[in-house]
């Protein structure tokens, strides 16, 4: 027990002072507040034993592996370092007991045999007894250079030959057993990692604001509305679990009457001004989004080709179609009406960045989803040209193949009407590893859309805002080091973007890149911008924050 407390204290201090994240073997990797992804097949186990986790793979059939991984958002030019402390029990072949690092461009790995440590590429090995005691292994990757230290002593330093191209551009740290053909067993005390962060020059004269922050509350996905009286209104999730699906914990609403400098709790249920009809009624269209049902119904929805995910024990959630809501002026109640969508289409909403009402009165809401035959995501739009009386589902962009990027789909999509009346869609690529936004433009109010064009902006997801002076602003999360919030301007209606003068609003994001971003920006009469988003710093408390700033004049 004394050893356990000593290890815990030492690891905590190192993680706080030096490491981006430190996993400790006193809990399963997938069960922590910052869970690791896991690929776990049959004939494999992971069991906590005191201050270690014993990972065992006894199978050699397809899919029999147990591998833990997490994104670490390394910059391929700067790389990162991962350390692990473990004791090997057995390993039959390559990757039976493994530690891996990939930075998006290159990757390397170590296989731990009882009598040696061997690189997975290049054939280099270091002879030692890995089974006699716990040893600390430090693996550093920078470009094609790899170094390995054991118990503080460097034993390998190679500038080539020990890396290979990162598979599908992956950017992660992983450990456990990743080979179906190999068996392996080891006790792991800790795995910790750090990326080398490039310098970022923050935009000048920004004002950082905490809107809502509470320990043990996962505050996420804020909305943003400017009300008719000029006040700003936001609502967001206040979840008890770090989950993008499980909404347990509900939400909160806050209002600001001083341009976003201070925020006070407010009543929920404020109607978005974009939903108001000309006759005083309300209308909108939406995907149903995640709907929770008993886990016993999993097979029922999967047979329909719909996306189903675990939420919590005994509960799953599924995606399906879309609906519209209409309440005409003078009516007390409105009515939901299903929108005709193809069978087996799993649709999902974005946030208010997806909403647009054009000057001609066309209503648009960008959603996205996958067909039952799988594959990449398609960006769709729900469109009404008669003030919400009828709605239809139209396609913005289907998956396509890029000569350099490979197969690309499109999901979370921001919309904005440009000064000349065209409508622009800014799309998050699927998968995220492609990184750069793609944009498409409609000349007919969202009926048809041009072929997606890759932009120079790296990040996701996006919000578009046409400023009072006609320039177009794209705000986005930046989920690689240095993680934060960024924005970029176009002075020609989105034909070009001034990426050379990208605005860096925040560069102090930490922990998981999945826990920051989704910015929304609004402009005040004097040209001051308020960008709201959710964010995670080094203390690990995911919260709602905002930045007040002003771009330079044209």
What CA–CA distance (Å, rounded) separates 137 from 139? 6
Which of 285, 287, 267, 265 shows the shortest CA–CA distance to 275? 285
Which of 429, 372, 374, 379 shows the shortest CA–CA distance to 406? 429
Domain final residue pick, 195, 220, 237:
195
Q: What is the pLDDT of residue 191?
A: 97
Q: Are residues 441 and 489 in the same domain?
A: yes
Helix, strand, or coil (residue 88): strand
- The CATH number of whichever domain residue 71 belongs to comes to 2.60.120.200
Whole-model pTM: value is: 0.85
Mean residue pLDDT across the chain: 93
Q: 101 with 191: CB under 8 angstroms?
A: no
Q: Are residues 294 and 190 in the same domain?
A: no
Residue 554 lies in a domain: no
**Structure confidence at residue 498 as a pLDDT band (50, 70, 90):** very high
| Mean pLDDT along residues 194-214 | 92
Whether the predicted pLDDT of 198 surpasses 70 = yes
**Structure confidence at residue 470 as a pLDDT band (50, 70, 90):** very high
Whether the predicted pLDDT of 299 surpasses 90 = yes
Domain final residue pick, 161, 195, 229:
195
What CA–CA distance (Å, rounded) separates 234 from 249? 17
Residue 4 is inside which H or E element, if any? Answer: helix 2-17
Q: What percent of the chain has pLDDT over 90?
A: 83
Q: Are residues 191 and 275 in the same domain?
A: no
Q: Are residues 151 and 225 in the same domain?
A: no
Range of the domain at 56: 2-195
b/e burial code for range 420-435 (CB count within 10 A of at least 16 → b)? eebbbbbbbbbbbebb
Query: C-alpha angle 252/255/256, rounded to 5°?
Result: 145
Q: What is the pLDDT of residue 406?
A: 86
Whether the predicted pLDDT of 225 surpasses 90 = yes
Q: Token digits for 406?
A: 């490979």
**Structure confidence at residue 197 as a pLDDT band (50, 70, 90):** confident
Residue 440, preceding bond cis, omega within 30 degrees? no
Query: What are the backbone dihedrals phi and psi of residue 298, each rounded to the nearest 5 degrees, phi first?
Result: -55, -50
What CA–CA distance (Å, rounded) separates 441 from 451? 8
Whether the predicted pLDDT of 4 surpasses 80 = no
- DSSP conformational letter for 296: G
Q: Which of 149-163, 382-396, 507-521 has the least mean pLDDT?
A: 507-521
Which of 413, 492, 416, 501 shows the shortest CA–CA distance to 457? 501
**Structure confidence at residue 209 as a pLDDT band (50, 70, 90):** very high
Q: Facing residues of 24 across strands? A: 190
38-50 pLDDT tens trace:
999 999 999 999 9
Whether the predicted pLDDT of 97 surpasses 90 = yes
Q: What is the pLDDT of residue 217?
A: 97
What CA–CA distance (Å, rounded) separates 147 from 172? 17
Which of 63, 68, 92 shows the shortest CA–CA distance to 82? 68
Q: Are residues 164 and 265 in the same domain?
A: no
Measured between alpha carbons, how far is residue 163 from residues 77, 84, 110, 147, 369 in Å? Answer: 14, 19, 11, 11, 36
What CA–CA distance (Å, rounded) separates 268 from 533? 19
Q: What is the pLDDT of residue 199?
A: 81
Which of 220, 245, 218 shows the shortest CA–CA distance to 33? 218
| HSE-up of residue 54 (Cα within 13 Å, Cβ side) | 10
Residue 202 lies in a domain: no
| Mean pLDDT along residues 428-455 | 94
Which of 290, 351, 356 shows the shortest CA–CA distance to 477? 351
Q: 129 with 114: CB under 8 angstroms?
A: yes
Whether the predicted pLDDT of 261 surpasses 60 = yes
- DSSP conformational letter for 300: H
Domain final residue pick, 164, 195, 226:
195
SS (H, E, C) 363-415: EEEEEEEECCCCCCCEEEEEEECCCCCCCEEEEEECCEEECCCEEEEEEEEEE
| Mean pLDDT along residues 278-289 | 97
Q: Facing residues of 475 across strands? A: 463, 487
- The CATH number of whichever domain residue 247 belongs to comes to 2.120.10.10
Whether the predicted pLDDT of 7 surpasses 60 = no
Please report the beta strands in 120-262, taking only residues with DSSP state E, as ranges in sequence order: 125-127, 135-142, 145-150, 153-158, 164-165, 171-177, 184-195, 207-212, 218-220, 225-226, 232-239, 251-256
What CA–CA distance (Å, rounded) separates 375 from 408? 10
**Structure confidence at residue 541 as a pLDDT band (50, 70, 90):** very high
Q: Token digits for 139?
A: 């693996």
Q: Are residues 173 and 245 in the same domain?
A: no
Q: What percent of the chain has pLDDT over 70?
A: 97
Residue 57 lies in a domain: yes
Residue 455 lies in a domain: yes
Q: Are residues 251 and 152 in the same domain?
A: no
Better-scored residue on pLDDT, 540 or 264 = 264
228-251 pLDDT tens trace:
999 999 999 999 998 889 999 999
Determine if residue 9 is left, alpha or beta; phi over 0 gives left, psi from -120 to 50 gives alpha, anything else beta.
alpha
Better-scored residue on pLDDT, 515 or 544 = 544
Q: What is the pLDDT of residue 58?
A: 95
Q: 517 with 479: CB under 8 angstroms?
A: yes
Residue 126 lies in a domain: yes
Residue 68 lies in a domain: yes
**Structure confidence at residue 12 as a pLDDT band (50, 70, 90):** very low
Q: 370 with 307: CB under 8 angstroms?
A: yes
- DSSP conformational letter for 9: H
Whether the predicted pLDDT of 514 surpasses 60 = yes
Q: Are residues 361 and 304 in the same domain?
A: yes
Q: Are residues 219 and 92 in the same domain?
A: no
| Pairing state between β 335-339 and 322-327 | antiparallel
Q: 90 with 141: CB under 8 angstroms?
A: no
Determine if residue 96 is left, alpha or beta; phi over 0 gives left, psi from -120 to 50 gives alpha, anything else beta.
alpha
Q: Facing residues of 142 across strands? A: 145
Q: Are residues 254 and 185 in the same domain?
A: no
Whether the predicted pLDDT of 177 surpasses 80 = yes
Q: What is the pLDDT of residue 8?
A: 36
**Structure confidence at residue 432 as a pLDDT band (50, 70, 90):** confident
Q: What is the pLDDT of residue 296?
A: 96
Q: 479 with 469: CB under 8 angstroms?
A: no
Residue 443 lies in a domain: yes
Into how many domains does the chain fold? Answer: 2
Q: Based on C-alpha coordinates, what's the Rg of the chain?
A: 25
120-140 pLDDT tens trace:
987 899 999 999 999 999 999
Residue 201 lies in a domain: no
CA 162, 168, 173, 179 dihedral sign is: negative
Q: Are residues 528 and 423 in the same domain?
A: yes
Q: Are residues 183 and 259 in the same domain?
A: no
330-361 pLDDT tens trace:
999 999 999 999 999 999 999 999 999 999 99
**Structure confidence at residue 539 as a pLDDT band (50, 70, 90):** confident
For residue 333, the tally of other CB atoms under 10 A from its CB is: 5
Helix, strand, or coil (residue 257): coil
Which of 457, 489, 473 shows the shortest CA–CA distance to 522? 473
């Amino acid at each position: 027990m004394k050893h356990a407390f000593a290890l815990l204290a030492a690891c905590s201090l190192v993680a706080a002072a030096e490491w981006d994240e430190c996993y400790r073997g006193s809990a399963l990797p997938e069960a922590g507040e910052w869970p690791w992804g896991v690929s776990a097949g049959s004939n494999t186990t992971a069991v906590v034993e005191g201050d270690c986790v014993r990972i065992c793979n006894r199978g050699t059939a397809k899919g029999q592996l147990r591998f833990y991984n997490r994104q670490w958002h390394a910059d391929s030019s700067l790389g990162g370092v991962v350390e692990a402390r473990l004791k090997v029990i057995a390993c039959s072949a390559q990757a039976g007991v493994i530690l891996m690092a990939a930075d998006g461009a290159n990757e390397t790995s170590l296989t731990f045999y009882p009598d040696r440590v061997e690189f997975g590429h290049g054939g280099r090995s270091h002879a030692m007894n890995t089974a006699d005691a716990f040893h600390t292994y430090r693996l550093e990757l920078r470009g094609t250079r790899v170094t390995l230290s054991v118990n503080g002593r460097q034993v390998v330093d190679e500038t080539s030959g020990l890396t290979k191209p990162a598979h599908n551009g992956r950017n992660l740290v992983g450990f456990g057993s990743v080979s179906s053909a190999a068996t392996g067993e080891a006790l792991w005390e800790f795995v910790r990692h750090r990326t080398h962060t490039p310098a970022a020059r923050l935009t000048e004269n920004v004002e950082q604001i905490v809107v809502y922050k509470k320990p043990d509350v996962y505050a996420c996905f804020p909305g943003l509305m400017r009300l008719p009286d000029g006040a700003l209104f936001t609502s967001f999730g206040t979840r008890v679990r770090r989950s993008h699906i499980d909404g347990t914990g509900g939400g909160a609403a806050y209002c600001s009457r001083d341009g976003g400098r201070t925020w006070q709790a407010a009543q929920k249920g404020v109607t978005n001004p974009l939903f108001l009809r000309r006759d005083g009624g309300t209308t909108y269209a939406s995907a149903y989004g995640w709907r929770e049902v008993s886990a016993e119904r999993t097979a029922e929805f999967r047979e329909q080709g719909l996306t189903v995910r675990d939420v919590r024990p005994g509960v799953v959630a599924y995606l399906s179609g879309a609906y519209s809501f209409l309440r005409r002026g003078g009516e007390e109640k409105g009515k939901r009406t299903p929108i005709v969508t193809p069978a087996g289409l799993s649709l999902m909403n974005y946030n208010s960045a997806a909403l647009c009402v054009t000057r001609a009165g066309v209503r648009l809401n960008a959603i996205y989803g996958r067909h039952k035959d799988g594959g990449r995501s398609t960006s769709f739009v729900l469109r009404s040209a008669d003030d919400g009386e009828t709605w239809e589902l139209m396609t913005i962009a289907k998956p396509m193949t890029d000569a350099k990027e490979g197969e690309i789909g499109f999901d979370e999509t921001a919309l904005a009407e440009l000064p000349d009346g065209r409508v622009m869609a800014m799309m998050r690529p699927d998968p995220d590893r492609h990184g750069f936004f793609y944009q498409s433009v409609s000349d007919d109010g969202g009926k048809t859309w041009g072929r997606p064009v890759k932009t120079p902006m790296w990040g996701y997801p996006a919000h578009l805002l046409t400023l009072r002076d006609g320039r177009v602003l794209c705000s986005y999360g930046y989920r690689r080091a240095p993680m934060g919030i960024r924005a970029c301007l176009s002075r020609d209606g989105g034909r070009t973007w001034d990426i050379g003068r990208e605005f860096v609003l925040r560069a102090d994001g930490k922990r998981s890149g999945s826990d920051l971003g989704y910015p929304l920006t609004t402009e005040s009469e004097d040209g001051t911008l308020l960008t709201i988003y959710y964010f995670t710093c080094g203390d690990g408390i995911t919260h709602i924050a905002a930045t007040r700033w002003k771009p330079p004049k044209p």
